Amino acid sequence: MKRTLSRIVVASSLTMACSVVFTANVANAAGLPKPDAAKGEQLYLNGEMSRGVLACVACHGDAGNSTIPANPSLAHQPYEYLVKQLHDFRAKDEKSTPIRRGPDGANTLMTAIAAGMTEDEMRDVAFYLSTQSVDWDKAATASKEDTMERGQKIWRGGLPERGVAACAACHSPDGAGMPGQFPRLAGQHASYIADQLKLFRSGDRANGPMMHDIADRMSDSDISAVADFAAGLR
């Protein structure tokens, strides 16, 4: 198994370094107030209970390195992507529902948390997380050798016969993602990736039309295979 996994491991230190530089400048480039990583860290560690904002560390782990499969690893995720997700978890007004919801359209815990956060807090905590290093010793990895080939095929080449694009095209060959646009999936929990693809497919997570179209053309076995493969990327 280790030998099989080693074939899909790609060195990503250069990508990570470039992404850090990008993150440091993206706020100014987007015309946003400069985020404060120190304030973001404090919110991440302590929360703000007066407004129902729980400490992020309780679910997402030290410096965003989650060890709980139900909760995503947020370390070194793109700054703009994280800000967008926090916005998408909360409703725009009292008459609408969030465009990012859980199974069967139910609000998630993040709905209440995001609703209590200010714009500055969203930017600060997102910036803090985007500058954190992935702890590869704690990161998830692939565990299903029998679906490795299938997952690799979908990741690298998609499913052309069903109009499913290669995951690598947007999330990069090594799963590092693309700064400001697409999340890192390398080392992410396989079950979490699979759950999100199914939420995209059902429409309960409606903040990515492109991902809905892709997931809608994938079977449960396709999703399971590519999610496990992605978890093993480095």
For the stretch 57-67, pLDDT in tens is 999 999 999 99
Residue 97 inside a domain? The answer is yes
Return the CATH number at 94: 1.10.760.10
Structural domain of 114: 10-130
Residue 135 inside a domain? The answer is no
Q: How many CB atoms lie within 10 A of CB 203?
A: 12
Residue 138 inside a domain? The answer is no
User: Of 76, 105, 130, which residue is a domain's last?
Assistant: 130
pTM of the model: 0.87
* Whether residues 152 and 125 fall in one domain: no
Q: Is the pLDDT of residue 19 over 80?
A: no
* Whether residues 47 and 79 fall in one domain: yes
Specify the number of domains making up the chain.
Answer: 2
Residue 222 inside a domain? The answer is yes
Closest CA to 19 of 183, 135, 169, 173: 183
* Whether residues 15 and 124 fall in one domain: yes
Residue 3 inside a domain? The answer is no
The C-alpha atoms of residue 103 and residue 196 are separated, in whole angstroms, by 10
pLDDT, mean of residues 115-134: 98
Q: Is the pLDDT of residue 22 over 90?
A: no
Q: Is the pLDDT of residue 8 over 90?
A: no
Cα angle 52-56-58, degrees, rounded to a multiple of 5: 105
User: Of 103, 130, 157, which residue is a domain's last?
Assistant: 130
The C-alpha atoms of residue 60 and residue 5 are separated, in whole angstroms, by 25
Residue 5 inside a domain? The answer is no
* Whether residues 110 and 206 fall in one domain: no
Q: What is the DSSP letter of 94?
A: T
Percent of the chain at pLDDT > 90 equals: 85
Q: What is the dihedral of CA 198, 202, 203, 207, to 10 degrees?
A: 10
Query: What DSSP assignment string belongs to 142-207?
Result: ---GGGHHHHHHHHHH-BGGGTBPPTHHHH-TTS--BTTTB---TT--HHHHHHHHHHHHHTSB-S
* Whether residues 124 and 181 fall in one domain: no
pLDDT, mean of residues 192-201: 98
Please say whether the beta carbons of 121 and 43 come within 8 A: yes
14-28, 87-101, 123-137, 146-160: which has the minimum mean pLDDT?
Answer: 14-28
- pLDDT at site 28: 54
- pLDDT at site 230: 98
* Whether residues 125 and 149 fall in one domain: no
Indicate the burial class of 21 (C-beta count within 10 angstroms; 0-12, 13-18, 19 or more): exposed
* Whether residues 37 and 99 fall in one domain: yes
pLDDT, mean of residues 25-30: 52
The C-alpha atoms of residue 84 and residue 23 are separated, in whole angstroms, by 14
* Whether residues 126 and 177 fall in one domain: no
Q: Is the pLDDT of residue 138 over 60?
A: yes
